[in-house]
Structure 1
Amino acid sequence: MPDTADQRAAAGRTFAVLAGLLVIGAILFLAFNVSREIRLLGSANSDNVQWSLAQTEVEFLEYRRHLDADPVNLSALRRNFDVFYSRMDTISQASVFETTRADVGFSDTLRDIQLFLTASVPIIDADDADLRLLLPELAALADGIRPSVRDLATAGLDIFARESDVRREAVARTMSQLAFALSLLIGTLGLAIFYLYRLIAIVSRRETQQKQTAVRLNTVIGTSLDGVIVSDARGRIIEFSPAAEVIFGHSRHDVIGRDIGQVIVPPHLRGAHDAGMERMRTTGEKHVVGKGRVKLEAQRANGELFPVELAIQSATTDTGEIYIAFLRDISARVAAEAELVAARDRALAGEKLKTEFLATMSHEIRTPLNGILGNMDLLHNTTLTPDQARYLRHMETSGRLLLTHVSDVLDITRYDAGKLNIQRVAMNLGDLVQDIIDSQSSMAAQNGTALDWGWDGPPQVWVESDPDRLQHVLMNLVGNAVKFTRQGKVSLTVSVRSDGQGDRLRVEIADTGPGLAADLKNRVFDDFVTGNTAYDRDVGGTGLGLAIAKRFVTALDGQIGVDSEPGQGCTFWIDIPIKRVTRHADAVETVRSSGKIAPLDILVVEDNEINRIVVRDMLQAAGHRVTEAHDGQQGMIKAQSHAYDLILMDISMPVMDGRTATRLIRAGQGASANTRILALTANVLQDERAAFLEDGMDGILTKPLTQAALHAALAKKDRAQTVPRAFDVIDSQHNRETRDVLGADTYDMMRSRFDADMSALIAELTDGAGDPAAIAAAAHKGAGSAAVFGAVALRETLKQIEAAAKSGDTDALPGLIAALPDLHRDTIAALA
């Protein structure tokens, strides 16, 4: 192939040179002929004119000689006159003398001669006798005109000389122009030849490049793992790559020229394929060509169907439009994807199974805990010896601690399952931090540690975030700092700043404790990691607190970290996005229902006998009437026949579960169709809670059940009533931690002191003595004491009194102060 290309290029160049030489030779030959013809034409005209003019004088002299002859030969005279006359007539009429006649001098001379001829003709034409008589007159006329005849010949010669000069100059000018034109033509031909040579070189180079490209393309196609099939506009295969041979099992020689639909398209798709090809031929409409990769089924030579990934492009050639198809066998990938989907389904099923298992275990653990803690709660209302009361408190502390661990594990499960709900509401950031500081101040005092907090930058009290998650995180971080710091200091710093993308909250908790080792610092947020795993450690914990905190911060789209060096304390920090807001009507406020509850007629549907007895005794101790049902079906039947004030419905029961029973009660026309139904369950997963409400339940009581929680639930008599947020009388977990830190004896002593201080405070506020500033100060002091014991309801009311006193809202103070005695009584009862 290269030799043939070189030969064609050499032949092209030789042809161009020969063509140029041939053109130049033709031009030279034509120029020579033109010059010769011009020269010959000029010579002929000159000789004729010169001879004619010279002969004019000769013929006139011959005529004059005959006039002087003696005797005069009249016939010869007349003949010579006629010759001269004819010559002059030729000069006057012939076109060859037209140029000379145009000369003024020549024309005047010719006119004089013609007058002479006109005067002489009558005499010449007379008879011989008269002619002989008039010969003297003819001689006189001839002598008179003889100078004119000589001038005519001379003028003709002058004119001829001038015309010859003009013609020579014209010929020379024409020849110069012809030479210039020839030179220009020769130069143009030279440039054309050079350009042609360049074109031949470019074409030759491009042809070489095309050959190299074709070689590379053939190599790429030949080594490509994707099959390449080229067909014409009618679908006939014109190229079939080696990879296509491997993929489809056909030999290239066997399929060239065959219809592509008959070779690789499965029978059930050939109709659509043929229709598509016909549509492209008739209308040019393309559905697959140029549309990227698509997935289709293809057929091998053995009839096997398999999935392919296909991309088709079109190109226009000299023979018409062609279609290039790139095909990839994706059988392995499809199988792998199917396996991944199956593995994902198995993983999801396993995750669901784990969630269901944990929910079941939560129910199974909380159910006996409900019995244990409920009975211990009932034992508080009986007469106990001091030792029995102490043993009971220890048992209750252990049970509550076990419940906390179960809740921690479920929090982790909810996060890992993606079911941790985040609710962003307006919240008072300063109050939240102050609550945490107040709740940890007692433990800090026991450790000899100073605990304080402050703002870094301008205070931003009201923000929008999830107060429950944020409180959990900060409580854990501050609690850890207080627990591990002895005779030192714990400082909490809060700042709200903008980073160009929004507002962010950063909280740093710095302590002067022992610090963290490098390896522990990298693992401190992992599950079940504690700072000290020795049996003699003086600080307890499961190692889940920081793991849960990290999950909560991540759920809030934030970050959490720690900076620490061994022996130099720790600085834990969180950084989360928030939104600056102003206080509004939707802000979280305390809702409290105090006072005694009128006796209610209550149906308890519970399959566990111990739990049923606990709930029954709690309700009966409060003066309520209780009817029991052992499963959901019994509960439904009793609810249809009797109108109850309240139904407590367990969820997991034999015969009929609580959700089904609730739906049937709501759907029927029974006596209790509109009665409030509260779920009594150990299942605390959020999606399950939502499902309970969708089934028609009005609320949820979580096992293990406490008298305080039961009292708060019974206070909500109106099924349609909703409140933004309700607080229990005390925060049981916080109260347990306080009791654990202080010890039983110290705790009892501090509780008695708190009871006395709170009685004095209520008496002081009820009397109405003091100005608003004094009321605010007293309420603030009382709120701090209540926070130590986790008395959240009492503390919130005191904070409202403080806020009202500071703002001058004297109308709200009486109602808030009037609620204090009942809150005080309920709080002391719960603390006992």
Structure 2
Amino acid sequence: MSNLKASPVRLRLLITLLLGAVALGVTLYLSTAVVRDLRLLNSARSDNVQWTLSQAEVEFLEYDLHLNTSLGNLDPDLRTLRREFDIFYSRINTLRQASIYSALRDVPEFSRNLRIVQTFLDRTVDTIDASDTALTGALPELIERAEAVRPNVRQLANSGLNYFAEDSDRRRSNIAVTLMQMAAVVTVLLVTLLLLALYLAYLNAQNVRRRAEIVQASERMKIVTGTALDAVVVSDAEGRILDFNAAAEQIFGYSAAEAIGADLGGLIVPDHHRAAHAAGMERMRVHGEKRVVGKGRIKLEAKRATGEVFPVEFAIQSAQTDEGEIFIAFLRDISHRVKAEADLVAARDQALAGEKAKTDFLATMSHEIRTPLNGLLGNLSLLRDTKLSARQARYINNMDTSGKLLMNHISDVLDITKYDAGKLHLRPVQMNISTLLQDIIDNQSGAASANDTTLDWGWIGPPADWIHADRDRIQHILMNVIGNAVKFTQAGRVSVQAEVLSAPDSAPELHVTVSDTGIGMDDTLQSQIFDDFLTGDSSYDREVGGTGLGLGIARRFVQALGGGIDVESTLGEGSTFLIRFPITPIAAPAATGPHRRLRSGELRPSRVLLVEDNEINRVVAREMLVAAGHRVTEAANGKVAVDLAQNKTFDLILMDISMPVMDGRTATRQIRDGNGVSARTPIVALTANAMAEEQQAFLSDGMNDILTKPLTRDGLMQVIANHVHRDTDPPAFAKDASKAVAGAYLDDLRETLGVEALRPLLDRFVTEVNDTLAFLADHHSHAPAEIAARAHRIAGSAATLGAVELRAGLIAVETAANAGDEKGMAKAIAALPAIWFVTRPQMRADRDDAPDA
């Protein structure tokens, strides 16, 4: 306790000494400044500087006097005249160059007169150094010059003397200020000492009172520890128990008489922790290392008198006493809490396992249902190509409609699963919201007309046509809400209004209001309308049908966009849905020329490797490809596909993902990493899984594109159109032809060289690029330095001819080759054929537009 009392006293003493040291330091500093300034005032250096200024004027007068004396003398003393000039010249040179006058030279008046005098000296020096005859003849002119410069010499000396006089005044003022500061500091120091004396007297009185309070506090502490619900155990540095309160007796089963004086480790520490406890006590005694003391609450185990080991939560603090260091441990029996936590964790794990099982079940079932559904819809597509009666065609259309409806329901379930599992990721793109709304209105106009309903839309305020947002999610939301409004409104009106609301401290929000005059909802249905599988109970609702998932998914999508959806409705009068979410308005993108889609008939017959374990899906895809004139090789798993790609050349590989023996991702990586003849062939994933993060993983494995099931003829043909070149190399991806070539370069060349001279130059460039692509296709057989040199040479030609995209691609190859980055080099080489695919048609000498790529 004496140590505890002494600590504040020591702190106050330390603060007092520190303040005294600071005051003494300030006083010494100010004294030093005063002494320094006095020395400067007494310095002979200042007198010498001013004497030199005055002497400069005196030397000029001596020189002027000898000039006038020499003029009237038949035998002038030219030697003395020259000496006087040299002395004056030396004085001025000292003023001009000496560092001691550097501050003086910054004075404008002194500097101006110094330049004038220096000019006078420079003009006179040649005359002074001339022969005696010439000097005698020039005496009148020298006198005239001297008379002209006399005022400037006078002003030069006066301005310098004024400067130093003012500087001396300034120094004396500084000394006066410093002396005043010193006096203020001394005064403050004396006042502080007086206050400290009063404070020490106050502290002395406080110490007397606190001594009595400590005695009372000690008595209260004994009462508190004796009645505490937590065990309080006090021990010394040797581990002997000094105090053992009533709660400790109840928790551990020992009486205080039994515990006090006993070894702490042997009494309450379990056997399997005793060695660690002994080692910790030894560390504290020898090295003073404390690993648990003062570290807050710690969970561990303790032992009762019965030998039962149970969990406890304890905290330990140490204190210094006259008898040495003691340790106070506060222990709490947490057996019941640990059991409750274990039960809670088990219940949580069981709930999470059930949720995961549900999610996995829905995802698996949606995938498994897609697979046979793919075969069903594919066979229906093939069946349409056969000769059918009108009744058969109607049945097939009905089956196709039902199949697509089933596919939509599966997609809805998968979307819910992804959202609830936290795997629903947004894919924002540039989009025109006005165009999207118009498309949805056009799509629903037929259903509205069938219900004798008017359907319209418009903007409130200025429109925000172009935004950066997730088009698919927004389309799904609006289609569901507007479709429901149309579905539940007969002989009425559905109105859609869009408005952009801006706030100064947040992103602008798009508000879309969908109002209808339909059947409306009561309060109970309004509160549940966004729940899953809710379809209402009106007769009209049962007539139109539905799964009840649409609005639930719409709400999830709106929340994923960072917005919300609300509804207000009156039964029998209609409903109003308000959809709101933040948007990022953007400028309208630059218009591009019309893009012509390649049709299957325009493509050369291609060699396609079809990798699919499901026989029905394999048959459907094969029939679609063969019907389009392509040659198909089939593989039932990824291992067979790897072997085929090693030895056979294919123009395209269609790769299923989930397969036995070897899955599609592993097969893709092995094909890409190998040196087979089809190692660089475009690979398109066939999958029923549309999760964005998994699609990204497919692309990172080396796949070029993704085709989701169920397969359609148009989808297959477009994939072939995108990835199989009609003439030579297959492009790995589509490029924007408008950016591939800088037309200004070719225009300049046409005007400079002429079309006839440019044509053979471009033909030669095309040949060189084709040869280079063939050379790089076998890059494994060439040294990186050779590849870099070849790419560098062609990149220079590409830059000259304006093939900017091709140049950038070749520079990427060169950079990767020089850095020894084999993967980066291979990736850059693989991208070149697609760039050349859109660049080559524009490498023409005439000005005709390049054909569509």
- TM-score, scaled relative to structure 2: 0.56
Aligned to 1:449: 453
Structure 1's 526 and 554: CA in aligned 2 closer, same or farther, altered over 3 A?
same
CA distance in 2, matches of 1:313, 1:457: 69
Unaligned runs of 5+ in 2: 1-204, 725-729, 737-847
CA distance in 2, matches of 1:450, 1:564: 19
Q: Match of 1:557, as an amino acid? A: G
Aligned to 2:520: 515
Q: Match of 2:488, as an amino acid? A: F
> Is the Cα–Cα contact under 8 Å of residues 490 and 512 in structure 1 kept in the other structure?
no
Aligned to 1:526: 531
Which of 198, 213, 224 is residue 217 of structure 1 equivalent to?
224
Aligned to 1:558: 563
Aligned to 1:229: 233
1:406 and 2:421 aligned: no
Aligned to 1:288: 292
Structure 1's 425 and 367: CA in aligned 2 closer, same or farther, altered over 3 A?
closer
Question: What's the secondary structure of 1:452's corresponding residue?
Answer: strand
Which of 462, 480, 486 is residue 482 of structure 1 equivalent to?
486
Structure 1's 470 and 625: CA in aligned 2 closer, same or farther, altered over 3 A?
same
Q: Match of 1:423, as an amino acid? A: R
Aligned to 1:261: 265
Question: What's the secondary structure of 2:528's corresponding residue?
Answer: coil
1:548 and 2:553 aligned: yes
5 Å-filtered alignment, 1:296-315, equals 296-315=300-319
5 Å-filtered alignment, 1:590-601, equals 593-595=597-599, 596-601=602-607
Aligned to 1:176: none
Question: What's the secondary structure of 1:689's corresponding residue?
Answer: helix
Structure 1's 355 and 637: CA in aligned 2 closer, same or farther, altered over 3 A?
farther
5 Å-filtered alignment, 1:119-518, equals 210=217, 213-214=220-221, 217-218=224-225, 220-221=227-228, 224=229, 226-267=230-271, 269-270=273-274, 273-274=277-278, 276-277=280-281, 286-315=290-319, 321-486=325-490, 487-498=492-503, 500-518=505-523
CA distance in 2, matches of 1:361, 1:494: 41
Q: Match of 1:692, as an amino acid? A: F
5 Å-filtered alignment, 1:780-795, equals none
1:682 and 2:692 aligned: no
> Is the Cα–Cα contact under 8 Å of residues 371 and 617 in structure 2 kept in the other structure?
yes
Question: What's the secondary structure of 1:231's corresponding residue?
Answer: strand
Structure 1's 574 and 263: CA in aligned 2 closer, same or farther, altered over 3 A?
farther
Question: What's the secondary structure of 2:455's corresponding residue?
Answer: strand
Deviations along 1:552-575, one digit per CA (max 9) or x if unpaired, are 122223222211121221111223
Q: Match of 2:671, as an amino acid? A: I
Structure 1's 660 and 285: CA in aligned 2 closer, same or farther, altered over 3 A?
closer
Question: What's the secondary structure of 1:560's corresponding residue?
Answer: strand
Deviations along 1:462-486, one digit per CA (max 9) or x if unpaired, are 4333222122111111111111122
Aligned to 2:710: 704
CA distance in 1, matches of 2:300, 2:653: 60
If asked which structure has higher relative contact order (CA below 8 Å, sep 6+), I would say 1
Aligned to 1:798: none
CA distance in 1, matches of 2:226, 2:427: 62
Which of 571, 587, 599 is residue 576 of structure 2 equivalent to?
571
Shift of 1:348: 4.2
> Is the Cα–Cα contact under 8 Å of residues 535 and 541 in structure 2 kept in the other structure?
no
> Is the Cα–Cα contact under 8 Å of residues 482 and 490 in structure 1 kept in the other structure?
no
Q: Match of 2:424, as an amino acid? A: L
Shift of 1:397: 0.7
Structure 1's 723 and 427: CA in aligned 2 closer, same or farther, altered over 3 A?
farther
Shift of 1:527: 0.7
Shift of 1:451: 2.5
Which of 617, 628, 640 is residue 611 of structure 1 equivalent to?
617
CA distance in 1, matches of 2:616, 2:583: 46
Structure 1's 277 and 460: CA in aligned 2 closer, same or farther, altered over 3 A?
farther
Deviations along 1:603-648, one digit per CA (max 9) or x if unpaired, are 1122333222211111111111112223333333322221111122
CA distance in 1, matches of 2:514, 2:628: 45
Question: What's the secondary structure of 2:579's corresponding residue?
Answer: strand
Question: What's the secondary structure of 2:565's corresponding residue?
Answer: strand
CA distance in 2, matches of 1:376, 1:398: 12
Shift of 1:703: 1.9
Structure 1's 557 and 474: CA in aligned 2 closer, same or farther, altered over 3 A?
same
Deviates more, 1:204-213 or 1:638-647: 204-213
Q: Match of 2:446, as an amino acid? A: S
> Is the Cα–Cα contact under 8 Å of residues 469 and 552 in structure 1 kept in the other structure?
yes
CA distance in 2, matches of 1:557, 1:308: 46
CA distance in 2, matches of 1:815, 1:575: 45
> Is the Cα–Cα contact under 8 Å of residues 608 and 650 in structure 2 kept in the other structure?
yes
CA distance in 2, matches of 1:713, 1:628: 18
Deviations along 1:104-149, one digit per CA (max 9) or x if unpaired, are xxxxxxxxxxxxxxxxxxxxxxxxxxxxxxxxxxxxxxxxxxxxxx
Q: Match of 1:561, as an amino acid? A: D
CA distance in 2, matches of 1:215, 1:304: 29
Deviations along 1:497-524, one digit per CA (max 9) or x if unpaired, are 2263443333221212111111111111
CA distance in 2, matches of 1:520, 1:499: 37
Structure 1's 248 and 553: CA in aligned 2 closer, same or farther, altered over 3 A?
farther
Q: Match of 2:494, as an amino acid? A: K
CA distance in 1, matches of 2:243, 2:373: 78
- TM-score, scaled relative to structure 1: 0.57
Percent identity among equivalent residues?
56
CA distance in 1, matches of 2:658, 2:538: 38
Deviations along 1:382-440, one digit per CA (max 9) or x if unpaired, are 33222222222111111111111111111111111111112344433333333323322
Deviations along 1:784-807, one digit per CA (max 9) or x if unpaired, are xxxxxxxxxxxxxxxxxxxxxxxx
| Aligned Cα root-mean-square deviation (Å) | 3.8
CA distance in 2, matches of 1:571, 1:379: 45
Shift of 1:341: 4.2
| Larger radius of gyration between Structure 1 and Structure 2 | 1
Deviations along 1:713-758, one digit per CA (max 9) or x if unpaired, are 1122167744699xxxxxxxxxxxxxxxxxxxxxxxxxxxxxxxxx
Question: What's the secondary structure of 1:459's corresponding residue?
Answer: coil
Unaligned runs of 5+ in 1: 1-197, 726-813, 823-832
Aligned to 1:103: none
CA distance in 2, matches of 1:427, 1:302: 75
CA distance in 2, matches of 1:473, 1:679: 28
Question: What's the secondary structure of 1:670's corresponding residue?
Answer: coil
Q: Match of 2:363, as an amino acid? A: A
CA distance in 2, matches of 1:366, 1:680: 12
> Is the Cα–Cα contact under 8 Å of residues 464 and 579 in structure 1 kept in the other structure?
yes
> Is the Cα–Cα contact under 8 Å of residues 591 and 723 in structure 1 kept in the other structure?
no
Question: What's the secondary structure of 1:529's corresponding residue?
Answer: coil
CA distance in 2, matches of 1:213, 1:532: 72
Structure 1's 252 and 611: CA in aligned 2 closer, same or farther, altered over 3 A?
same
Question: What's the secondary structure of 2:583's corresponding residue?
Answer: strand
Aligned to 2:670: 664
Deviations along 1:327-380, one digit per CA (max 9) or x if unpaired, are 223344444444544544444444444344333322332222112211211222
Shift of 1:268: 5.3
CA distance in 1, matches of 2:494, 2:452: 9
Question: What's the secondary structure of 1:607's corresponding residue?
Answer: coil
CA distance in 2, matches of 1:261, 1:591: 84
CA distance in 2, matches of 1:367, 1:630: 15
Structure 1's 522 and 664: CA in aligned 2 closer, same or farther, altered over 3 A?
same
Aligned to 1:99: none
1:624 and 2:609 aligned: no
Aligned to 1:785: none
CA distance in 2, matches of 1:624, 1:295: 71
